[in-house]
Structure 1
Amino acid sequence: MLKRDLLRNKTISAALLVFISLSALLASSGANMIVELSHSLGALFQKSGVPHFVQMHAGDADLERIDRWADNNGLVRRHQTAEMIRIEDGNLALGEGNGPGSGGVMDHYFVRQNRSFDLLLNLDSQVVQVNRGEVAVPIYYKQRDALEIGDTVRIAAPGFAMELRIADFVRDVQMNPSIIHSKRFVVHDDDFALLSGSLGEREYLLEFQLHDPGKLGAFRTAFEASNLPKLGPAVDHTLFRTLNALTDGLLAAVIVLVGLLICAIAIFCLRFTILAAIEEDYREIGVMKAIGIGASDIRKLYLLKYAVTAAVAAAVGYAASLLVNPLFTGNILLYIGTAPKGLGLRLIPVAAAALIFTIVVFFCLLTLRRFNRISAAEAIRSGTVGEALPAGDKLSLRGSRALSVPVFLGIKDVVSRFKMYRLLLLVFIASSFILLVPVNFFHTVQSPGFNHYLGIERSDLRIDLQYADSAADDYRRILDRLRGDGDVERHAPVLVGSYKTMNNAGVPENMTVEIGDFSLFPLDYLQGSAPARSDEIALSYLNAKEMDKKLGDPVRLLVDGETKVLNVSGIYQDVTNGGRTAKAALTDAPETVLRYEIVVDLKPGANVAEKRNLYAQTMHPAKVTDLEGYMAQTFGGTIEQLKLVATVAAAVAVLVSALITALFLKMAVAKDAGQIAIMRSIGFSVRHVRIQYLTRALLVLAVGIAAGAVISNTAGESLAGFAMSFMGAARIKFAVDPLQAYVLYPLLLLAVVTATALVSVASIRKTSLTGINAA
């Protein structure tokens, strides 16, 4: 029976095999990515000795006081203070033939290898060790600048020059991702001492490992209540894990989601196939029941062929996943590394493919329960299931004037037998969703408006000045320069500082607050608006969530030695600084200035690129970037991963649409063979009959694309917002490219479905008038 069915329905069997194989492939690949990411990240954390809590500090630090406090805190297992030398972008040249950087957003820190924990690893996940005259460079620059071992890193400033040979590349458990704007270079102790005495600003990482990481909250409270240095952001190991896993985790989630959608399509397709087979064999089923064969035994006969098809497809899908896994896990292997996996972890992708097989077989069993409702006498008597038209069908050919007869009959058939066309509609909706969501998210991340999710204002130029002894003087100098520049239309200075605030437990802790006029370059707020008065404050999404604050709630800040109550005026999205920031219109200077920011808009006609290069040269040591450059450096890797996902999803959606159209129309033509013969006998040409079937497919496609676009821009946005909420952006609004989303991609699906439909209905030519007897 299995052999006969496979030979009789080669196209149907092949389509089912492809659908289930694709689903198993993507499920196995997604599961493998998740396993690889989780296991390798765990190994990276273990080998490097990830700190549980890190406080960055710019400025002088009393190391002995830090040691005494840590030694007296019973929660601390071990601690260290890591010194870093910050080298300006304009003083650093990476690679052969490259000049000093300009307009970069990254902070370059030269460090020694740590002795205790927070170890910096190489590409073999071994502790980096360099000799004098050598440097280990972050992986970010290897990927961005195509650096190789043996290339040169040059550090130059007035009266100082140093040339180092790249000996290795660094995996940094704290600063690996591009979204983190700090990068650590490892040099020999002697070279570090030379840099420390000659060039750069000194900063520190106060790092702590706890006896019990579960008591991180209690430790954070104790640390915030201390008088230890805190001139910078504080982060913990949970944030390190989130940021390291974010890009590849999103990719894995999208792959698994697409795989499950294709599995759903395969199940719909399988259901239709089973029902068509039941109708085709209806009389034979009645005979079998009449001679005493039980319904369960008949179900087993039919289940066998679909179970074998599903098993073969799942095995093919898993085998194919082994070939494509390197394509998906390349970024993981580069940034995080790989770790030996035991048999249990290796079996998880196999289990994912087996799960697809189990789901398919389970839904086969549900569909095959229909055998219980088949009457032997009725099946032998009628030989067909029968499909009556709805009683309320009011479409009549006489009432149609605008449409040709074949087109009208095609539309009437879809309306009258809509239950039969539900499968095709669901597939086209799913295909549109699979196609549009990754593409829309890709365009959103690339769009200029994505800056709103970063908590930064939309502007032509952005000037960042890190804290240093001369930062205040440099800041005033830059502002004077901007006021005297005739090409500048407007600019808004912002001081980023640290204030004390009272948390829910009544314990003071630090909060990063931006001080300035936020009306000139407004953000899009989730709720409320920017602070306009000195008694208002706006909170980032994660800050508001952790502090349990809503619009109008009070926030207590310690300002100039006194407690000041500010009311929450708005909540905005922000993924910088761990997603925990605030904005206020205070007139008082912050307790500690972390950095200065100035956003600039140029007058119409001014050349942004030329002005950026000029400012980068004349406003040293400030970093000058345009918005496009800022986004490219921050999300360049993520954008490339999303581009890969969008390409794969588009290919899968088009392939699925083509296969399901071919399968559906082939079965529909076979099912309607008698009706086609009748139409041919009363004068319908082959062309007219084909137009009917083509109309059916294209009508369902048009509805499916429209519904898919709506669902993509609602449920798709919600999915993207859920994924980004862990970073601090909870509500994503897709920046849809209308030409691509509503014209090019629908036309692509339309072209593929039309071509497939034309090929599929070619068999109608073979239908002869003898089919009337079958009708």
Structure 2
Amino acid sequence: MLAVLKLSFSRLRKSKLQNVFIALLILLSTLLVSTAFIVLANTGNQFEEMHARTNGSHQVLTFEKGLNDPQADHDWWTSQKGVDVSPLLRYRTLSGITFHGEQFPNIYLYMIDTPEQPWAVDKPIFADGTPSDVPARGTIWIPTSMSNAYDISLGDTVSFNADAATIDLVVSGIRIDVPYGAPFTNTARIWMNEADYRNVFSGSGKDYSMIGLHFDDYETSPRYWDRYADENGIPFLETKMEFESIASFYLIIHQIVGFIMIFLGIVMLIIALMTIGFTISDSILANYRTIGILKSLGFTSLSTIGTYAIQYALLAFAAILPGTALSLIMSRFIIGISTSSLRAGNEDLAIRGTGLVLMLAVLLFLLVILFVIVYASKAGRIQPVQAIRYGMSETDHARAARRMNLSLTRWMSFATIPVGAAVGMRSIMKYGKSSLLLLLLTTMASSVLVFGYALMTSITEIHQTAAKWGYDQADIAAVIVDKGAFPRAEMERALEEEAQIENVAWQGNVTGITVPEPNHANQHDSVSLALSVLDGNYRELGFETLHGNDPVRKNEISIGVGVSRMLNKDVGDLIELYIEGQKRTFIITGTYQAIANMSISGRITAEAMRTVDPDYSDADVAFIQVRDKTDAAAVAKRLNEPFQGSVSVVTQKVLLDSVYTEAANVLIYPMCLIGMLFLAVTFIIIFSTCRINIRKESRTYGIYKSLGMTSRQLRLSIAAATAGVALVGSLFGIAVGVYLLPFLLETVLSGYGIVDLPLILNGSGILMFSGLSIPAAALGSWASSRVIREASPRDLVVE
């Protein structure tokens, strides 16, 4: 046993740098895999805990169309057992804020007349500020999402535009508002003092109302709505926001980051284990004669394997512990930035799954030992006589001789190609396993970098592919903020007078309730669909479908993929909907994907709505297309000025960027970290494997140097050959990053309404990022060949 320990420690001392790199590789693999597990284990936990803590809304009802009586509905829900109901919240709508002299037009505000405490639903929890029953006069409470997006702090003054007047209010509280406080949203509830609300909104316009509902068991909510329709004689005809929509934007970033990290973490772990196995195999080959001599002196096979097991057990132990500790820190950072809107003050971020991570650390340790034993078992089969005679098994000796005598190998000789190229190519051809590992590693590193770049570009430039995310492609959107004060006739005249405008279409929104099909093979409860009603042509505005087309007739509808999946409906099928209490049958002409409402939505024409209400002319937004795209910003500015109190007119780019820039900011940190980790791993593994190969070829390189080749020439030859393999790997990486990884991510995003990830593929950027693995590989090879420069030809030959 003492001899085994001495040999193990001897190997640790002899190859210090290589062992340090192996330990670092295990550490990085542990870091990435453990971080991924913690992020996934905490997906939804922060949201669920805060939702339970605030007794958050499962559904939010807003009354803006005059189709239901808010007070009567509030009384009905209050009488139901198993449901908590918020106070009847009175509000007005505004758009845009001015903060520190800068205008932010694309934020839509519910200015709430704050009721007295206590509240049964959406109880206020403050991230900053002193809790109170209502805001003091001249002050407001804002949600954490708004504070984070615009960097607004306690005590700051925010300006609002209402009825052509500017209101300055001081932020006295920053509160967590679960239904309207998700990241990547452009809506917010602003909680006002009753006296301020009365003074500000005493003029034109009218108040609207909203109610929050919290069910003891959310799964039973359809039964309540069936009872509501039976007892009231009509279904709910106003707008209803579902729990899935509330939760989706809180969870989607965790899902994306968790998926990427767990997939790439497993890949990195596999590469790490392959590298360990490769290192052990080459160590056995390099010490074949030594092992043979030891066995001839009485060393057993078990003792031989034990020397490697102890060596790598110590390395794994020294690497996995700090890797696990660092994963807790890194995961806390990632979870913290993606759930910042759910953080209450200086409360410590509770991270779950630490027990799982400890179990994972033990599993990784055992996995490393298992691989070591499997690969080290080759040493147990060494025959002393063959080892002493050939320095390898007789079979391996014959195989090596045949490989070096292949016609391709003979062709790559000093007589037929340049000397440097021959040296480099022979180093690649002779050690096929290490070359294959290099190819795999650079492929994965390049694929990670390419995919990360494409994903970030697709989010930051989402206006280029807006239609593929379920949006329109209009140049300008005029969002109606206050319908009561909106002068539609004046707006239409202004649009007609604007010479740069080419096309205008008005879009409204209604709710459609599906009709259960009791005799259908896939029976389902009624589903509430967010229906877009367009007075115009969907195709002309750039809306897209995955299959079929958007509706053009009054009996046609296109549905989101979420509806298609839930109801098992496709193009050509019929669907029955209740719209404002009237039953209508539509033929499905197309299916589309949309990140909004998780694709639980549909598109119909204004003619279809006029079969329900002949006087229908309701609209929430006007989509505007201009003749010259470069004039869009100027046209939007001209239209916005006279209608600031009731309409927000912005370009589509501003509309989308204000929402998705925050998503890109959250994603950029983990994506950059993963990319740097893979580049670091590429350098480490290539350094380690090339160093092993160079040591085995030391005698050959000594002969080359004695024949006149310089150390620099030899090192450049090896580095160039390595870079060549890395170049091939980077090309494979482009294919993996553009096709395979997006396909796998689509399996995660399909639950959020995106089944075909709309990536923007910038060729020059993709080539640049895919090529980053090449210098990492070349540098690793160059650094490992330093031994050639430091040793004399005689020493190399003797070695």
Q: TM-score if structure 1 supplies the norm length?
A: 0.89
Alignment length (residue pairs): 766
Residue in structure 1 matched with residue 72 of structure 2 by the alignment: 65
- Corresponding residue of 2:531: 513
Q: Which residue identity lines up with residue 581 of structure 1 in the other structure?
A: S
Q: CA deviation at 1:737?
A: 2.0
Residue 121 of structure 1, CA deviation: 1.8
Moved more, 657-666 or 577-586: 577-586
Q: Percent identity?
A: 16
The CA deviation at 1:279 is 1.2
Structure 1 partner of 2:171: 166
1:366–1:244 Cα change, 3 Å = same
Contact 1:406 1:689 in 2 (8 A): yes
- Deviation, 1:529, is 2.4
Partner of 2:121: 117
Counterpart in the other structure of 2:158: 153
Q: 1:312 to 1:569 in 2, by over 3 A?
A: same
> What is the rounded CA distance, in whole Å, between the counterparts of 1:161 and 1:342 in structure 2?
41
**Partners in 1 of 2:375 and 2:238 — Cα distance?**
61
Does residue 211 in structure 1 map to residue 216 in structure 2? yes
SS in 2 for 1:714: helix
Q: Which residue number in structure 2 is paired with residue 538 of structure 1?
A: 558
Out of 372, 376, 379, the position equivalent to 1:368 is: 376
Select which of 425, 434, 459 maps to 2:474.
Answer: 459
1:442 counterpart residue number: 456
Q: Please give the per-residue CA displacement for 1:166-192, whole angstroms capped at 9, x wherever unaligned.
A: 111121111122444431122334444
**AA of the residue aligned to 2:738:** N
Q: Give the secondary-structure state (helix, strand or coil) at the position aligned to 1:589.
A: helix
Partners of 1:699 and 1:197 in 2: how far apart? 74
Does the CA-based 8 Å contact 2:162-2:200 persist in structure 1? no
Q: Which letter maps to 1:461?
A: I
Contact kept, 8 Å, 2:477 with 2:651, in 1: the verdict is: yes
- Could you say which residue in structure 2 is the equivalent of 1:135? 140
Offset at residue 702 of structure 1 (A): 1.0
Q: How does 1:356-435 map to 2 (within 5 A)?
A: 356-385=364-393, 386=396, 388=400, 389-390=402-403, 393-395=406-408, 398=411, 403-415=417-429, 417-435=431-449
> 1:177 pairs with 182, 187, 191, which one?
182
The residue number in structure 2 matching 1:525 is 545
Q: Within the alignment, does 1:20 sit opposite 2:35 as a pair?
A: no
Runs of 5+ in structure 2 lacking a partner? Answer: 1-6, 519-523
How many Å apart are 1:723 and its aligned residue? 3.0
Kindly state the Cα deviation for residue 734 of structure 1 after the two structures are TM-superposed: 2.0
Give the C-alpha shift of residue 155 in structure 1: 4.5
Residue matched to 1:485: 498
2:267 and 2:628 map into 1 onto residues whose CA distance is: 48
Match of 1:653 in 2: 678
Deviates more, 1:593-602 or 1:555-564: 555-564
- Distance in 2, Cα, partners of 1:125 & 1:332: 22
1:478 shift after superposition: 2.8
Deviation per CA, 1:225-263: give whole Å up to 9, x if none. Answer: 665674554334344333222224433443444433332
Q: Are 1:571 and 2:595 an aligned pair?
A: no
- What residue in structure 2 maps to residue 108 of structure 1? 110
Which residue of structure 1 aligns with residue 778 of structure 2?
754
**Corresponding letter in the other structure for 1:565:** T
SS of 1:297's partner is: helix
Q: 2:659 aligns with which of 627, 634, 658?
A: 634
Counterparts in 2 of 1:399 and 1:181: CA distance versus 1, 3 Å: closer
The residue aligned with 2:521 is: none
Which among 547, 567, 570 is matched to residue 550 of structure 1?
570
Kept in 2, the 8 Å contact 1:80–1:208? The answer is yes
1:78 partner SS:
strand
Rounded to whole Å, the distance in 2 between the matches of 1:46 and 1:485 is 51
Q: 1-side partners of 2:43 and 2:325: how far apart?
A: 20
Aligned partners of 1:551 and 1:336: how far apart in 2?
A: 41
Distance 2:113 2:735 in 1: 51
Secondary structure at the counterpart of residue 298 of structure 1 = helix
Shift of 1:304: 0.9
Q: Which amino acid aligns with 1:673?
A: S
Q: Secondary structure at the match of 1:132?
A: coil
The answer for unaligned runs of 5 or more in structure 1 is: none
> How far 1:669 sits from its partner (Å)?
0.4
Q: Which amino acid aligns with 2:174?
A: F
Contact in 2 for aligned 1:544/1:571 (Cα 8 Å): yes
Partner of 2:4: none
Deviates more, 1:378-387 or 1:264-273: 378-387
2:720 to 679, 683, 695: 695
SS at match of 1:530: coil
Whether the aligned pair in 1 keeps the contact of 2:92 and 2:482 (CA below 8 Å) is no
Distance 1:257 1:247, change over 3 A: same
Give the counterpart letter for 1:485 in structure 2.
Answer: E
Mean Cα displacement is larger for which, 112-121 or 712-721? 112-121
Q: What SS does the aligned partner of 1:122 have?
A: strand
Aligned partner of 1:497 in structure 2 is 510
Q: Does the Cα contact within 8 Å between 2:128 and 2:154 map onto a contact in 1? A: no
Superposition deviation, residue 680 in structure 1: 4.1
Query: What CA deviation, in whole Å up to 9, does each residue of 1:284-327 have, x standing for no partner?
Result: 33344445544333222211111111111112223434554564
Q: Do residues 722 (structure 1) and 747 (structure 2) align?
A: yes
Q: 2: distance between equivalents of 1:164 and 1:727?
A: 37
SS of alignment partner, residue 118 of structure 1: coil
Aligned counterparts of 2:550 and 2:163: Cα–Cα separation in 1: 43
Pairs within 5 Å for 1:557-706: 557-558=577-578, 563-585=583-605, 587-589=607-609, 595-604=619-628, 606-620=630-644, 621-681=646-706, 684-706=709-731
Partner amino acid for 2:782? L
Whether the 8 Å CA contact 1:428–1:705 is kept in 2: the answer is yes
Separation in 1, partners of 2:355, 2:560: 42
Moved more, 640-649 or 761-770: 761-770
Per the alignment, in what secondary structure is the counterpart of residue 395 of structure 1? Answer: helix
Is the Cα–Cα contact under 8 Å of residues 466 and 594 in structure 1 kept in the other structure?
A: no
Q: TM-score, structure 2 length as denominator?
A: 0.87
Q: Which residue is equivalent to 2:3?
A: none
8 Å contact from structure 1 (residues 490, 601) kept in 2: yes
Q: CA deviation at 1:711?
A: 0.7
Contact between 1:122 and 1:128, CA under 8 Å: does it hold in 2?
A: no
Q: Deviations over 1:419-457 (max 9, x none)?
A: 331111111112112222222110111123341243111
Gap change, CA 1:519 and 1:22, over 3 Å in 2: same
Q: For the Cα contact (< 8 Å) 2:38–2:352, is it kept in 1?
A: no
Q: CA deviation at 1:735?
A: 0.9
Could you say if the C-alpha distance between residues 277 and 82 of structure 1 is closer, same or farther in structure 2, counting changes exceeding 3 Å? farther
